[in-house]
Amino acid sequence: GTQVTVEVHAKDTTPQLFKKFSFGKGTAWALKPGRVGQGATSFPLKIAPSLPETMTTHFFAAYPWDKSSLKSMPVDLQQFEKLDAYALKVNVKNSVEELVKALLKQARTDLEKVRAIWMWICHHIEYDVVGYHNKSQLSSKPIDVLQKGKSICEGYAGLFEQMCSIAGIQCMKLSGYSKGYGYKMGQTFTGDSDHAWNAVYLDGRWHLLDSTWGSGSVDDSFTEFTFRYNEFYFLTHPALFINNHFPDNSNWQLLKPTLTLKDFEKNMLHNSNFYMLGLLTAHPETAVIQTVNGKASVSVDCRSATLFTFKLKGTDEHGLMTLKKHGMKLDIYPQKTGSHKLQIFAKPSKASEDVYNCVLEYVVDCKSVDKAMRFPKDLHQPVGPSWFTERQGFLRPSHPDPIIHTNDGRCSVTFTLGKDISVLASLHSDNSSLTEDMRRRHIMQIHRGNQIELKIHLPHAGNFVLKIYAKKKSDPGNYDYIFNYLITCLNTEVKWPAFPQSYSKWLEDYEILEPLSGLLPANRNVQFKLKMHGIAKVLVQAENTYPLTQSRGYWEGTCNTSGCREVFVMVHENANHSFYSHVLKYEVETQ
């Protein structure tokens, strides 16, 4: 609020007024070097507004975030590589002035000066967990912070401010509330501020940064600090910074419109991983989600293909997560009422390590339970086909949704397969007495060119998981799990027998048209129709032997099931050979 008057005179003359500037409460100027009248001198000092309360709108970022950039000004990190490496190696501890002098040897622009100071602090000052618990032993004076090499946020921000001041950069130390260590979702903030950070004046506007959070993190018990550099908190876009920093003076949000403390409290906390992984938005935007009829839904949008998992109260049960090209959708069905912690994890699809980072946390408040949505324990997340399964060679799925509903207990799933892919499928259920081998016989693979059909006949009603595995045909190794579907059938009268058992000589492009059931009726004539190629003769072995005849690519004929328990289909691959190979086996109903 102070009024400052600056008079500008020509150099070495008796005062004769050329221009007069007033810096009052209502104006903000940055004086650039320039000629004012004859022989006028330039101004080495850039004068920045000390409080942004009077700035014109171009000083402010719009809220919510416009998804353009994580930074508040254009920053090319590759151009900083040399400077960053230099700043990390500087080792001066005797005085703040000497340290700044050494750092600025490689920095030309104001942005480079700020960057060098930022990098040095983030990699040389550790968080003082002991001092945090025992404030009497703590000094936040810049020289003490420098020489001890550790401090709390107050010391980081104070050292940053002084180093900028020595470098001729206008910098402010700000304080306020933060959603940092110990933050509980949905909590309210009262009393004194709990965190400190900085604002720097670059290119005619203010920018925010937090060197404490840029340097690393403390463990859950708040006893150990780990250096883990975090680029996110350098010149963070104000609409993202407000996510976990609420300044005492709301003008320092640098936002239009500013957020109220109530908004800040109820808004979803997106940690830095969320944005660094290229995620854009999450719905809902509030930290606490109420279930509706036992269900809660979360969705995330992102720039590029990203893999997700979740944990509800520590397990990935009671949910159905599907991957989308630009994000994911998750439906949660808690099986107990009350409050449940929900965590969402993500990793880039190209990441080599299998490490997922936590990107979101919610509290799911469940008022009622939907018992019908109890999923089999073998259901693996995410569910259903996606861009990921396409990459594994499963193209154009007949069922793009994760759940397949069947009323009569039968369904069929088709894909176009990529080259050289061999497929294995299995069926799982929590309440099935069948062996895994027997359950596998309730799935039949049919290959037609590069198309595969999985025909499924369920042994009983209920919820089933159809798991799909694949490997390269040329690869002698094991099959890798690719994805799964949830198959639901409510019709309690469903009771399909397994398909016939096939042997190794049954080739993948052979096909059974009839009988599909692996259990044949007793004392009946049964019609056979099989599609096979490269075969000289086909016999059906029951009590007697029945040859099948070839017609237009199909082998057809009838066999009688009287007096036998099993029926075999046998092939004669070569007319010159005398032996037959078993290809299929059927059971016969007991009388």
Residues marked active site are found at 153, 195, 210
Q: How many other C-beta atoms can be found within 10 angstroms of the C-beta atom of residue 130?
A: 11
134-145: b (≥16 Cβ within 10 Å) or e: eeeebebebeeb
Collect all residues with Cβ–Cβ distance below 8 Å to 196 and sequence separation of at least 6. Answer: 153, 154, 156, 157, 158, 173, 174, 175, 212
Q: Which residues pair with 129 in a beta bridge?
A: none
Residue 544 half-sphere exposure toward CB, CA atoms < 13 A: 8
Of the candidates 129, 360, 85, the residue with the CA atom closest to the CA atom of residue 229: 85
Collect all residues with Cβ–Cβ distance below 8 Å to 268 and sequence separation of at least 6. Answer: 282, 284, 285, 286, 287, 360, 362
E-strand ranges in 50-181 read 61-62, 126-127, 150-151, 171-178
Place of tokens 């008022």: 367
Is residue 246 packed enough to be buried (19+ CB in 10 Å), middle (13-18) or exposed (0-12)? buried
Collect all residues with Cβ–Cβ distance below 8 Å to 460 and sequence separation of at least 6. Answer: 409, 432, 494, 495
From residue 37, alpha-carbon distances to 8, 20, 42, 410 in Å are: 9, 12, 11, 91
Q: Are 319 and 308 in contact (CB under 8 A)?
A: no
Q: Are 359 and 345 in contact (CB under 8 A)?
A: yes
Q: What token pair was written down for 478?
A: 């094991």
- The residue type of 299 is S
Collect all residues with Cβ–Cβ distance below 8 Å to 113 and sequence separation of at least 6. Answer: 103, 104, 107, 164, 167, 168, 169
- The residue type of 527 is Q
Question: Torsions phi, psi of 261, nearest 5?
Answer: -60, -35
| CA-based torsion, 272, 273, 276, 277: positive or negative | negative
Residue 397 half-sphere exposure toward CB, CA atoms < 13 A: 22
Do you know the residue count of the chain? 591
191-215: b (≥16 Cβ within 10 Å) or e: eeebbbbbbbbbeebbbbbbbbbbb
Compute the distance between CA of residue 584 and CA of residue 3 in angstroms, rounded to an integer.
97
Q: CA 310, 179, 217 angle in degrees (round to 5)? A: 75
Compute the distance between CA of residue 249 and CA of residue 497 in angstroms, rounded to an integer.
72
Of the candidates 496, 521, 524, 520, the residue with the CA atom closest to the CA atom of residue 569: 520
